């Protein structure tokens, strides 16, 4: 059944028909007939049985016919007079063609309507004994005479990963082990990726991308022979998986491995003497306690009274959760959104009736849980159903970037709830993710700087459910490129996602020739993507864009194109809303891209020189634009003044664009500026930014400033009232006065400013600051003082100063500081005595500070009394 997509697609189509009805002069009869048949069908769709007989392809085809006609008309309006005359002739032919298409489509819908007439009658909460279990596991990990392997074994959804995370982050574990590494083992993992991840965590500075597997094995082996390290291997599926990973582990050293798995044989294969812990299912009372906390959040308030009948109904539903924390949390999140007894009764009836036939889950307990997950999905509003199913695109254990996800959702045309009408694209996505988090359908934590859900992921059992639902609704086709047989399988869905393997050995799909394909995504493993770009040698990608003229979403990131060229036929994809060429080898953009007038998202972040013609002038719908860092152009600057809907502009260079174009981009939230060449003073820059009232994140990079500002040149002034994050790499010998800093600023990073005066008296009075970074050459003075009452919200503080010598902290400063980092501050004489008053500190890290620092901060050292209260100290 494709009921979710059908309802979503139909409402989108209906809005399009109503909005564009005036355009269809000359085909009035066919248009009216099509609209009439669709209106009849719209009424039938309220009936569940009718939806089963309605082909989603009809809705897609209708949208394609209408949109193609409308876009071609719009493109014709921008032609010169000669081309316009030819366009009129083409329009006549187009109208004949659209009339024929509409007639055929009306007949298909009428057939469905006849069938319909026949059918018309018809949060991360405590698990059982969590503290006790954590202490038991921690004890086995830090004891020297126990086995090398500790395992947590149990079925999906019972809380294995949650428990492992609590152990991994335990202060005793952090202080006992010098190295800590967490690796998610997907069903399609590669040994190289696992070993790279382990080495990345244990030795961050090593260049892992260029190492062979033998070199990776040798380096990890040496590290584990010489230091105590804890490696967590989360969610191993098969016994033989351990055999592939284990060569990096020496015999009986200071390392320990914590395994989570559904398969007890994995742990015994790793170490027959291993300690195995099996989390218990929650008792009825424990499950009921969780449900009460989520479903009745106000029950502890004086005026609130829990309805006795709803309480009884909730207790009945708990029995269907099989004692699994995940199922109980999801059910609780579902019930929390329902206010009346009747709604609770309806949910109970649906769950207890087992309304789903085949679930795809094998045993009885997981099948019961599936019905809870299914009902939670069914209760989602249409727009959230589509958002949730879209997460099936991403690889197992992926941390999904919500910012990028927001533009994909928008390109798909997911409707906005009315409460988000005036919000930015990203704010809409943040809101939708928050709704899914509240329902316990996705996992996410708020970012310290932004207080938003910047990334999200799916619990493994929830992902299985998501994939199953996506398959049932033919929502997308996933291609993993592992065999020639798979490469020959035809693409039947309108969405195709290709997961690029970690080892780069991919068979590209040969039967990708689906002219109705709307979305094509290449997704690379997120950790592999961070390694050196040069190490990635992908096969050359050759695609005839003329075969995909209905494409809306296209992400070819990390691919290599034949000859480094993007074919000019890309300009034929007039429906395109989303285009990412991130980290491809393209060296020349075709001028035909100017036809992509519906683009909302365009990512041209290519790590090499790229010729960029003036293609942006008519891309008036763009909300996200990332330019190449190295642009090749003639003397004329890029025309960006028309892009007034932009919310994000990255890699804007004053060499290739006019800073005055920024003044009209009043919707900007994120702006990354590179100041290059002459003609952009701080005064001009400040003036151009003054109108950007919605700006939240600003990065200004001017590392190559030829000379200090003149006496008459004004200091950089920030008049962006909503700015939250500021990153400056510019010569700025003095900070603006406190009143010129945005009052909502939560994060500031300074590099190369060469401040002559102590910045702390100004920065510590910015009451919302949570993160401060004073990096290389940001301060040229010798002494800094943090005074009483300063930095009331600060949580993270980082220094990377070569010339800094003295730091004084007064008692009562930085009361919430959690993390303190020093990088290469080799002239700093000592840690301030006032550090011992900051009892909130959890971590102190000193990089490249010299051996004497490690000695002074050791238990026998003279400065140990200053840091003895800090759980994690690393030098």
Do 420 and 352 share a structural domain? no
Please state, in angstroms and as integers, the Cα–Cα distance from residue 332 to each residue in 57, 321, 524, following that order: 36, 11, 35
Tell me the residue length of the chain.
875
The sheet carrying 149-153 orders its strands as 179-184, 229-236, 256-261, 149-153, 275-277
Q: What is the pLDDT of residue 293?
A: 80
Opening angle at CA 368, ends 364 and 374, nearest 5: 140
Domain shared by 139 and 25, yes or no = no
Q: Using a CB cutoff of 8 Å and minimum separation of 24, what contacts does 856-860 make?
A: 856/830, 857/831
Provide the CB-side half-sphere exposure for 445 (13 A, CA): 5
**Could you count the other beta carbons within 10 Å of the beta carbon of residue 702?**
20
Residue 79 lies in a domain: yes
Say which residues have a Cβ less than 8 Å from residue 207's Cβ, sequence separation at least 6.
532
What's the CA gap between 419 and 411, in Å, rounded? 20
The pLDDT score that the predictor gives to residue 604 is 96
Is this model's pTM higher than 0.75 or not? Answer: no
pLDDT band for position 89 (cuts 50, 70, 90): very low
Query: Could you list the residue range(s) of the whole structural domain that residue 64 is in?
Result: 1-94
pLDDT band at 847 (very low <50, low <70, confident <90, very high): confident
Last residue within a domain, chosen from 227, 257, 277? 277
In this structure, are 135 and 245 located in the same domain? yes
Residue 159 and residue 77 in one domain: no
In this prediction, residue 119 has a pLDDT band, given cuts at 50, 70 and 90, of very low
308 in the same domain as 272: no
Strand partners, 233: 183, 259
> Phi first, then psi: what are they for 707, rounded to 5°?
-155, 160
Of 764, 683, 687, the closest CA to residue 720 belongs to 687
Q: Are residues 60 and 173 in the same domain?
A: no
pLDDT at 190: 78
Which residues are CB-contacts of 831 (< 8 A; sequence separation ≥ 6)?
807, 857, 863, 866, 867
What domain count does the chain have? 5
Provide mean pLDDT across the span 289-307: 69
CA distance 221 to 216: 8
Question: Would residue 66 count as lying in a domain?
Answer: yes
Q: Per-residue pLDDT for 601 more than 90? A: yes
Cα 608 vs. chain centroid, distance in angstroms?
25
Contact 157, 461 (CB under 8 A): yes
pLDDT at 88: 38
Q: Give a yes or no: residue 166 inside a domain.
A: yes
Task: Tell me: do 400 and 335 sit in the same domain.
Answer: no
Q: What does the pLDDT average to over 686-707?
A: 79
Q: What is the pLDDT of residue 806?
A: 95
825 and 732 assigned to the same domain: yes
Q: How many CA atoms lie within 13 A of 310 on its CB side?
A: 18
Give the per-residue pLDDT at 577.
94
Would you state the pLDDT for residue 86? 42
Neighbours of 275 (CB within 10 A): 18
- Phi, psi at residue 755, to the nearest 5°? -60, 135
pLDDT at 700 over 50: yes
CATH number of the domain to which 439 belongs: 1.10.10.10
Task: Select the more confidently predicted residue: 338 or 761.
Answer: 761
What average pLDDT does the segment 668-685 reach?
82
Residue 684 within any structural domain of the chain: no
SS3 annotation, 632-665: ECCCCCECCCCCCCCCEEEEEECCCECHHHHHHC
The last residue of one of the domains, among 74, 94, 114, is 94
Which has more confidence, 607 or 400? Answer: 400
Task: Work out the widest C-alpha separation in the chain, in whole angstroms.
Answer: 91
Q: Which residue has the higher pLDDT, 769 or 743?
A: 769
Residue-wise pLDDT tens digits, 8-54: 555 555 555 555 555 555 545 555 555 555 555 444 444 433 344 34
Q: Are residues 732 and 869 in the same domain?
A: yes
Residue 131 has pLDDT above 90, yes or no: no
Q: Is residue 787 part of a domain?
A: yes
Cα 373 to Cα 287, 324, 456, 600, 602: the distances in Å are 16, 12, 18, 33, 36
- Distance in angstroms (rounded) separating the CA atoms of residues 385 and 281: 29
Q: What is the CATH number of the domain that holds 843?
A: 3.80.10
Report pLDDT digits (tens) over 518-551: 899 988 765 454 444 444 455 567 777 888 888 8
Last residue of a domain, one of 324, 352, 379: 379
Quick one: pLDDT at residue 632?
86
Both 141 and 257 in one domain: the answer is: yes
**pLDDT confidence bin for 763, thresholds 50/70/90:** very high
Considering the domain architecture, whether residues 249 and 364 belong to the same structural domain is answered as no
| Helix, coil or strand: residue 303 | coil
Residue 182, domain CATH: 3.40.50.300
Q: Is residue 675 in some structural domain?
A: no
Q: Is residue 136 part of a domain?
A: yes
Are the C-beta atoms of 43 and 10 separated by less than 8 Å? no
Alpha helix (H) ranges present in 239-356?
A: 239-245, 264-270, 284-295, 308-318, 325-336, 341-352
Q: Identify whether 266 is part of a domain.
A: yes
Per-residue pLDDT, 83: 45
Strands 400-401 and 455-456: antiparallel
pLDDT band at 120; cut points 50, 70, 90: very low
Residue with tokens 């000359």: 26
Nearest one of 377, 337, 331 to 355, comparing CA atoms:
377
Backbone angles phi, psi at 662, to 5 degrees: -70, -25
Closest listed residue to residue 801, CA positions, set 775, 782, 829: 775
Taking the C-alpha atoms of residue 760 and residue 250, their distance in angstroms, rounded to an integer, is: 48
pLDDT at 489: 56
Q: Helix (H, G, I), strand (E, B), or coil: what is residue 673? A: strand
Co-location of 137 and 219 in the same domain = yes
**CA separation for the pair 673, 384 (Å, rounded):** 35
């Amino acid at each position: 059944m494709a009921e979710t997509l059908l309802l979503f697609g139909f409402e989108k189509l209906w809005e399009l028909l109503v909005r564009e009805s005036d355009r269809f002069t000359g085909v009035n009869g066919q248009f009216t007939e099509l609209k009439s048949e669709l209106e009849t069908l719209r009424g039938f769709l309220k009936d569940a049985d009718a939806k089963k007989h309605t082909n989603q392809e009809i809705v897609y085809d209708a949208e394609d016919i209408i949109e193609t006609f409308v876009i071609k008309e719009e493109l014709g309006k921008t032609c010169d007079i000669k081309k316009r005359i030819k366009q009129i002739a083409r329009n006549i032919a187009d109208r004949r063609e659209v009339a024929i298409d509409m007639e055929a489509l009306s007949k298909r819908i009428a057939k469905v309507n006849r069938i319909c007439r026949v059918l018309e009658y018809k949060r991360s909460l405590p698990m059982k004994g969590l503290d006790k279990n954590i202490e038991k596991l921690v004890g086995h990990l830090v004891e020297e005479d126990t086995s090398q392997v500790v395992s947590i074994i149990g079925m999906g959804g019972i809380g294995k990963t949650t428990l492992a995370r609590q152990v991994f982050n335990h202060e005793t574990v952090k202080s006992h082990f010098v190295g800590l590494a967490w690796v998610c083992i997907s069903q399609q993992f590669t040994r190289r990726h696992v070993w790279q991840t382990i080495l990345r965590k244990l030795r961050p500075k090593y260049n892992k991308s260029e190492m062979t597997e033998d070199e990776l094995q040798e380096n990890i082996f040496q590290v584990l022979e010489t230091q105590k390290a804890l490696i967590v291997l989360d969610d191993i599926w098969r016994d033989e998986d351990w055999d592939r990973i284990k060569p990096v582990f020496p015999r009986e050293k200071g390392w320990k491995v914590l395994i989570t798995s559904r398969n007890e044989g994995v742990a015994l294969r790793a170490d027959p003497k291993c300690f195995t812990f099996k989390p218990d299912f929650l008792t009825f009372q424990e499950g009921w306690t969780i449900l009460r906390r989520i479903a009745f959040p106000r029950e502890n308030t004086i005026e609130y009274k829990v309805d006795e009948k709803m309480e009884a109904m909730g207790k009945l539903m708990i029995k269907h959760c099989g004692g699994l924390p995940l199922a109980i949390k999801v059910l609780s999140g579902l019930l929390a959104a329902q206010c009346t007894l009747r709604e609770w009764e309806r949910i109970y009836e649906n769950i207890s009736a087992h309304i789903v036939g085949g679930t795809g889950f094998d045993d009885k307990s997981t099948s019961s849980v599936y019905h809870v997950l299914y009902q939670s999905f069914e209760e989602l509003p249409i727009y959230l159903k589509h958002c949730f199913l879209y997460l099936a695109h991403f690889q197992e254990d992926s941390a999904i970037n919500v910012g990028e996800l927001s533009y994909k959702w928008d390109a798909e045309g997911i409707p906005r709830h009315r409460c988000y009408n005036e919000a930015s694209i990203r704010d809409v996505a943040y809101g939708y993710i928050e709704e899914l988090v509240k329902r316990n359908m996705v996992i996410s934590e708020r970012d310290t700087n932004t207080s938003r859900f910047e990334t999200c992921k799916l619990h493994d059992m929830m992902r299985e459910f998501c994939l199953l639902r996506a398959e049932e609704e033919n929502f997308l086709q996933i291609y993993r490129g592992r065999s020639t047989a798979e490469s020959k399988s035809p693409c039947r869905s309108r969405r195709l996602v290709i997961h690029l393997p970690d080892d780069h050995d991919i068979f590209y799909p040969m039967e990708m020739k689906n002219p109705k394909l709307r979305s094509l995504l290449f997704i690379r493993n997120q950790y592999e993507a961070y390694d050196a770009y040069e190490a990635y040698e992908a096969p050359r990608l050759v695609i005839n864009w003329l075969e995909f003229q209905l494409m809306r979403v296209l992400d070819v990131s990390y691919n290599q194109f034949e000859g480094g060229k993007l074919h000019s036929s890309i300009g034929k994809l007039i429906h395109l809303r989303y285009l990412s060429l991130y980290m491809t080898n393209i060296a020349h953009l075709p001028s035909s891209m100017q036809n992509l007038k519906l683009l909302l998202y365009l990512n041209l972040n290519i790590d090499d020189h790229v010729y960029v013609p003036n293609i942006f002038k008519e891309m008036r719908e763009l909300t996200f634009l990332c330019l190449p860092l190295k642009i090749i152009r003639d003397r004329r600057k890029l025309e960006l003044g028309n892009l007034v809907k932009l919310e994000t502009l990255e890699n804007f260079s004053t060499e290739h664009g006019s800073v005055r174009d920024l003044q009209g981009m009043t919707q900007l939230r994120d702006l990354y500026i590179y100041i290059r060449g002459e003609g952009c003073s701080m005064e001009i820059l400040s003036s151009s930014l003054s109108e950007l009232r919605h700006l939240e994140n600003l990065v200004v990079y001017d590392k190559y400033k030829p000379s200090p500002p003149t006496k008459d040149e004004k200091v950089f002034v920030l008049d962006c009232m909503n700015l939250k994050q500021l990153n400056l790499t510019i010569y700025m010998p003095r900070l603006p006065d406190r009143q010129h800093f945005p009052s909502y600023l939560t994060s500031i990073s300074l590099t190369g400013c060469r401040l002559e005066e102590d910045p702390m008296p100004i920065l510590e009075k910015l009451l919302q600051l949570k993160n401060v970074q004073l990096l290389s050459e940001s301060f040229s003075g010798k002494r800094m003082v943090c005074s009483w009452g300063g930095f009331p919200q600060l949580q993270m503080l980082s220094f990377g100063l070569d010339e800094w010598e003295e730091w004084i902290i007064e008692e009562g400063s930085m009361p919430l500081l959690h993390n303190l980092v020093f990088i290469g501050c080799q002239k700093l004489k000592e840690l301030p005595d006032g550090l011992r008053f900051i009892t909130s500190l959890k971590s102190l890290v000193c990089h490249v500070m010299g051996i004497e620092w490690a000695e002074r901060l050791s238990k026998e050292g003279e400065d140990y009394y200053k840091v003895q209260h800090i759980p994690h100290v690393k030098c």
